[in-house]
Amino acid sequence: MARPVYLDDPSLGGPLLATLHPAAGAADAAAPATGVLLCAPFGYDAMCAHRGLRTWAGELAADGRPALRFDLPGTGDSAGGPRDPEQARAWTTAVGVAARHLRAATGCRRVVAVGLGLGGLLAAQAAADGAPIDDLVLWGTPARGRALVRELRAFSRLGISDLDAFDFDAAGAPPLPDGAIESGGFLMSGETAAAVGAVDLTALDLTRIGRALLLGRDGVSVDARLVTALEAAGVAVTVEDGPGWSELTDEPHQAVAPAATIAVVARWLEEGEREAHAGPGNDVAAPATSDTLTLPGGGTETPVVLGDGPSAPVAIITTPGSDPFRCTGARVQRNGSDPGGLCVVLLNVGGERRVGPNRMWVEAARRWAARGVVTVRLDLPGIGDAGGPPSPWGAFLSLYCDELVDATGAALDALAARGLGPRFALVGLCSSGYWGFQQALRDDRVSALMLINPRMLLYDDTLGQAAEARHVRRVVSLDVWRQILRGRLTVARVRRLAAALLVMVRRVPAMLAARLRARRAGGDALDLAFDRLRDQDTTLGLWFTPDEPVLADLERTGHLDRLDRWPTMTVGHVPGPPDTHTLQVVRMQPLAHDVLDAWLDRQRARHAEPAAPSAAEIA
């Protein structure tokens, strides 16, 4: 079973979260010949590829090769943030720390680093700096960092079409750092971009690398300068195609593991193992490890599995107080404080891992811990690091299912069994707005809902397909051009859009007429759902960025004119430009955080919760 652990070292600015996938039968076998270090690409590509890399690590482990995945400093669930100084140096150091842990924890005789994009650049640089990396697999990695930075800058220019129409300064949004790159909603500071751009793998000493496999990326050939430099260093170089990059980095709910490239790498690893050349040995200094992360602003974070089944959700639980968790008890102990109170659960944003849109959930959880609030970042089955099939979702509507609503309820049960709650506040964005709304209708432990840009609240396949059609303008202005850049535009996607448009033309008028008849008869299904939340005293906040279709639906159907019927319900706006459904513009994210903080303050004041706990104990 995969094991999360925090790695720390004096050379790092803070601990990083790594996940070790032990080799099958490792307890009964000799030390494995090969351990594999998976180094993810940057930003949104890393978000999309996360589930696929988890699958890849599991396949490596099943074949007898332990694998380690990790979040770079300031990314994912690791410590720090994107504005930290000297981040590029910390990234390279982190690769070396992760390699040392893999060798020390598994006893493997050789470490092979598999790096994608930026991950490959960092892996090669770490090897040149003396990290215990013996062989390299570089997929989509250029010889020079400036090529990668140019690609990120080009991607950043494919942003929101109406971005300039919104006055961020007037709204109070802090400016971006000078020279920063905003790529897919993820920030690389100007200092970091300059440092990455200065990397030249052809100028490094790579003589300690034995073998290297260089993979092209969806029609983009391997950088010939890198081949020449490695061969000049005496490295045995193999060049292959690397099919499946675009499938791996597709939207998170659609991304799949690159089966063909996984097979190419597996054959190359087998060839190296048959040559039976040993690595330099296992006498490396293992980094410090911990089951918890102690936060600088106060509080601790602990990864937990919420259940025993193969599809169990997983979570990061963030609690106030300076003492780290001790994973020995059966329940959360609050040192004599009232074990009740509010527990905020941040749900997945569609198929994105638990860090939230562009890492907003991590930032919110750590900020709220410093203010005395217990927060849970949740991965539901089939998403992020949770159990379940590798990539079960695919189509837009597949995320709107009872399975994910049931999993939300099961996660709340598991959290309650650990002593959290008894009041839960759910935060959802996009499809998780649907999960949270549905769970609240069946669970009076949910005392508050904060739903941002829900695509639907009650399931209706016509609504879902119509919503897809209404987003054609956004898709054309952003998604399609992004897909063209990456070679992702498919005939199937065009057909789906055409089918959605046809549904809107044919079926939506009949649907709206049916709703009108229901209201005249005493209320439609949404009226009754709002009534139920009101009657069980569950506060509901619906917050929208501009041009969201559900907000237009609520206005057109008259629900916004009847808000006095639901005094526990609020409808508001998140400041920002149109076409920002998942809050993917970096400058608007602080504005969204302000909205979230104000909502949380209202929930705490409403119930006047007791003093914050100072320590915790989690099973």
pLDDT score at 392: 86
Stated as kind and residue range, the H or E segment containing 58 is helix 43-62
Signed CA dihedral, 497, 357, 560, 563: sign only: positive
pLDDT digits (tens, 9 = 90+) for 277-312: 555 555 788 999 999 999 987 799 999 999 888 899
Per-residue pLDDT band for 31 (boundaries 50, 70, 90) equals confident
CA atoms within 13 A on the CB side of 504: 16
d(CA 199, CA 142): 10
| Percent of the chain residues topping a pLDDT of 70 | 82
pLDDT digits (tens, 9 = 90+) for 578-609: 989 999 999 999 999 999 999 999 999 987 75
pLDDT score at 3: 94
Is 331's pLDDT higher than 60? Answer: no
| Percent of the chain residues topping a pLDDT of 90 | 73
pLDDT score at 470: 47
Q: Is 590 exposed, middle or buried (0-12, 13-18, 19+ CB in 10 A)?
A: middle
pLDDT digits (tens, 9 = 90+) for 456-498: 999 976 654 554 444 444 444 455 545 555 555 445 445 555 5
d(CA 212, CA 229): 11
How far separated are the first and last CA of the chain, in Å rounded?
A: 17
pLDDT digits (tens, 9 = 90+) for 185-208: 899 999 999 999 999 999 999 999
Average pLDDT, the chain: 87
Token reading at 450: 């904060």
Is 255's pLDDT higher than 70? Answer: yes
Across 507-511, average pLDDT = 56
Map residue 113 onto helix, strand or coil. strand
pLDDT score at 1: 84
Q: Is 323 exposed, middle or buried (0-12, 13-18, 19+ CB in 10 A)?
A: middle
pLDDT score at 597: 97
Is 173's pLDDT higher than 80? Answer: yes
pLDDT score at 606: 87
**440 neighbors 417 (Cβ within 8 angstroms):** no
Listed residue (445, 449, 400, 446) closest to 570, CA to CA: 449
Per-residue pLDDT band for 326 (boundaries 50, 70, 90) equals very low
**542 neighbors 571 (Cβ within 8 angstroms):** yes
